């Protein structure tokens, strides 16, 4: 994490904005560089400044949070994005993950969860607290029994955990002391076993099975 982490906060509720900015301003290593009330305002700010992290609501007037995240990802894949929302539907969470968020927490989460999410995401990992994982575990994935009999080896589980935390192939190789070719073989096996079509599918499976 850099010495000072620059943050853009996007939310249409003034009271919530005041609360979250109050929390962030208490942390010496966090700097709020901008506040926007919807996605369009946030995109205008991004034309002038580049934050390290965007904290965004999902339901907003004009350009909503999911469309905003997609717009950001169309021109920048390095900015970290944390969704913070009152929406507790699995569909919304899945859409947010697919759009490109690095984490998702609920608005009724406390200060500790917020700061933990920021720390994890700033460190290059994903963050989905138990409250969000519980929603996903009770979602349409539970209605699909096709994955219930999947057996992963301990090594595959280790690799899947690191993939879900956004480790690169080289970082996984260094962490587990195995070759990049071995990792690619395990990755292909994981996608075959879980029937995941892409990396997002693997992340969803990891969340569903409480591997992260």
Regarding whether 201 and 165 lie in a shared domain, the answer is yes
Regarding whether 163 and 109 lie in a shared domain, the answer is no
Examine the fold and report which residue of 122, 140, 158 is the final residue of a domain before the chain moves on: 140
Regarding whether 43 and 112 lie in a shared domain, the answer is yes
Q: What is residue 159's predicted lDDT score, i.e. its pLDDT? A: 92
CA distance 30 to 6: 6
Q: Which of 19-33, 87-101, 113-127, 136-150 has the lowest mean pLDDT?
A: 136-150
For residue 191, give the nearest of 181, 201, 182, 183 by alpha carbon. Answer: 201
Regarding whether 156 and 136 lie in a shared domain, the answer is no
Examine the fold and report which residue of 94, 121, 140 is the final residue of a domain before the chain moves on: 140
60-70 pLDDT, tens per residue? 888 899 999 99
CATH number at residue 44: 3.40.50.2300
Regarding whether 153 and 76 lie in a shared domain, the answer is no
Regarding whether 174 and 115 lie in a shared domain, the answer is no
Regarding whether 192 and 88 lie in a shared domain, the answer is no
CA distance 125 to 70: 19
CA distance 17 to 193: 43
Q: What is residue 150's predicted lDDT score, i.e. its pLDDT? A: 74
φ/ψ bin of 210: left (φ > 0), alpha (ψ from -120 to 50), beta (otherwise): left
Regarding whether 160 and 134 lie in a shared domain, the answer is no
Name the average pLDDT for the chain.
88
Regarding whether 151 and 120 lie in a shared domain, the answer is no
Beta strands in the chain (DSSP E): 5-10, 30-36, 53-56, 80-85, 103-106
CATH number at residue 184: 1.10.10.10
Regarding whether 103 and 11 lie in a shared domain, the answer is yes
Residue 148, class by beta-carbon neighbours within 10 Å (0-12 exposed, 13-18 middle, 19+ buried)?
Answer: exposed
Q: Which of 41-55, 118-132, 194-208 has the lowest mean pLDDT?
A: 194-208
> How many domains is the chain partitioned into structurally?
2
Regarding whether 102 and 10 lie in a shared domain, the answer is yes
More confident residue, 114 or 195: 114
- pLDDT band of 139, cuts 50, 70, 90: low
Structural domain boundaries, residue 202: 144-208
Q: Is the pTM of this model over 0.75?
A: no
89-132 pLDDT, tens per residue? 888 898 899 899 999 999 999 999 999 999 999 999 999 998 89
CA distance 195 to 210: 18
Examine the fold and report which residue of 87, 115, 140 is the final residue of a domain before the chain moves on: 140
CB distance 114 to 84 below 8 Å: yes
- pLDDT band of 1, cuts 50, 70, 90: very low
For residue 49, give the nearest of 83, 7, 87 by alpha carbon. Answer: 7
CB distance 199 to 167 below 8 Å: no
Regarding whether 65 and 23 lie in a shared domain, the answer is yes
């Amino acid at each position: 994490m850099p010495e000072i982490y620059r943050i853009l906060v996007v939310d249409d509720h003034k009271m919530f904005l005041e609360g979250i900015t109050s929390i962030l301003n208490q942390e010496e290593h966090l700097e709020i560089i901008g506040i926007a009330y919807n996605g369009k305002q946030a995109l205008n700010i991004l034309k002038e400044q580049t934050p390290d992290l965007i904290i965004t609501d999902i339901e907003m007037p004009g350009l909503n949070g999911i469309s905003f995240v997609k717009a950001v990802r169309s021109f920048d894949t390095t900015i970290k994005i944390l969704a913070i929302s009152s929406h507790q539907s699995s569909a919304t969470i899945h859409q947010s993950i697919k759009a490109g968020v690095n984490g998702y927490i609920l608005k009724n989460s406390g200060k500790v969860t917020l700061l933990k999410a920021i720390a994890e995401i700033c460190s290059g990992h994903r963050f989905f607290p138990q409250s969000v994982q519980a929603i996903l575990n009770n979602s349409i994935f539970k209605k699909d029994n096709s994955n219930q009999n999947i057996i992963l080896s301990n090594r595959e589980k280790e690799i899947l955990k690191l993939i879900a935390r956004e480790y690169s192939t080289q970082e996984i190789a260094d962490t587990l002391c195995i070759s990049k070719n071995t990792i690619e073989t395990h990755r292909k096996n994981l996608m075959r076993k879980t029937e995941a079509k892409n990396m997002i599918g693997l992340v969803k499976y990891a969340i569903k099975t409480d591997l992260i």
